[in-house]
Structure 1
Amino acid sequence: MDTIINSKISYVKLALTSILLTATIQSQPDKKGVLSMSFTLTSSAFLHEERIPSQYTCEGEDISPSLEWSDVPEGTKSFTLSCLDPDAPPGTWVHWVLYDLPAGASSLDENLSKSEKLENGAFQGACWGVDSFSRVGYYGPCPPPGHGNHRYYFRLYALDTESLSLPPSATWFQVDKALADHVLGTAEYMGTYSR
């Protein structure tokens, strides 16, 4: 009887530890000690953790995919978007940086213009950063042939500031440094690609 009771107690302890660990992973304080909340990022262009269609890569039209987001944290004043490949041979490769997106935005259309600043509609004033080749705009997956499957993380940051006060064509390093103390929440969507 004692063995059964001890087994049940051990199971309850394991379950509680698992719940606490999950909550800790999902709600980490940011650098200011403020709890960073997650929200939802999706795309109608491809499924999460699935292969990115070639039209969004260097083997196709190389156009940006559509993205949609919802359930943003309260107090959000702007967004920053990045697309990074951590599997690139020289280290993390930057494919897309867009910052100072207004808080009212909830989606990006497919095939956004690659000018330094978006001057139209809801995105007026948003700025493109540069990729790892110092090019403005979206440049999609283009892993070395035979290098295997690469992961492409589209990450959207909800920020407590309207602007990062950076000029157009900032690098990801500059953008990442500028947003560090302003993150209210993040959303992530991942696709894969290989050649």
Structure 2
Amino acid sequence: MPRRYTCEGENVSPPLAVNGVPTRTTSLALLLQDPDAPRGTFTHWMAWDIDPHTTHLTAGEHPTGAAEGRNGFGGTGYGGPCPPRGDHPHRYVLTVYAGDGRPDLAPTATPDDLLRALSGHTLATGTLTGRYGR
């Protein structure tokens, strides 16, 4: 993952292109997590109720009109990769979900809350994995 998108760079979300969204999709959701974090999976970005016609997000762009949940740093929205110094490079897994419903979640929702809301309503997913170490 380029340094620009990390805690050592500009800490802005990376650009994202979305295609192949099923026609019945009513909203998109995304989840960016580090499964290699020392204390278990760490959430860097969580958003839902994204317009299903969204085809791309530029670097640093937050999905217009979407809800963003809390990240593992305690803030809302994107928090860039920031693995412990000297640790092996971590994987950062970004999954986009195409759903046939709009999750009704509080801003304090957890990734488990989002995944429960998407259960049985996910039409398609796409996943990108990046690596970063410092």
Per the TM superposition, whether the score is higher than 0.5 is yes
Which amino acid in structure 2 is aligned with residue 89 of structure 1? P
Question: Residue in 2 aligned with 1:179?
Answer: 118
How big is each residue's C-alpha offset from its partner over 1:122-160, in whole Å with a ceiling of 9 and x where there is no partner?
Answer: x32x10011113210101110001110110011000001
The DSSP-based 3-state class of the residue aligned with 2:18 is strand
Which amino acid in structure 2 is aligned with residue 174 of structure 1? D
What's the offset of the Cα at 1:90? 0.5
Structure 1 position 103 matched with structure 2 position 52: yes
Q: How does 1:70-109 map to 2 (within 5 A)?
A: 70-109=19-58
**Greater RCO (Cα-Cα under 8 Å, separation 6 or more):** 2
Question: Residue in 2 aligned with 1:149?
Answer: 89
- Give, in whole Å, the separation in 2 of the partners of 1:169 and 1:103: 23
Q: How does 1:21-60 map to 2 (within 5 A)?
A: 52-60=1-9
Question: Residue in 2 aligned with 1:129?
Answer: 69
**Structure holding more helix per residue:** 1
- Give, in whole Å, the separation in 2 of the partners of 1:190 and 1:156: 12
Structure 1: gaps spanning 5 or more residues:
1-51
What TM-score do you get using the length of structure 1 for normalisation? 0.65
What's the offset of the Cα at 1:74? 2.9
What TM-score do you get using the length of structure 2 for normalisation? 0.94
What's the offset of the Cα at 1:170? 2.1
The DSSP-based 3-state class of the residue aligned with 2:76 is coil
Report % sequence identity. Answer: 41
- Give, in whole Å, the separation in 1 of the partners of 2:39 and 2:76: 20
Which amino acid in structure 1 is aligned with residue 90 of structure 2? H
Question: Residue in 2 aligned with 1:170?
Answer: 109
Instruction: Assess if the C-alpha contact under 8 Å between 1:65 and 1:110 holds in 2.
Output: yes
Could you list the runs of 4 or more consecutive aligned residues of structure 1 that deviate by over 4 angstroms after TM superposition? none
Number of aligned residue pairs:
134
Which amino acid in structure 2 is aligned with residue 106 of structure 1? T
C-alpha RMSD over aligned residues:
1.3
Q: Please tell me whether Structure 1 or Structure 2 has the larger radius of gyration of its CA atoms.
A: 1
**Structure holding more strand per residue:** 2
Structure 2: gaps spanning 5 or more residues:
none
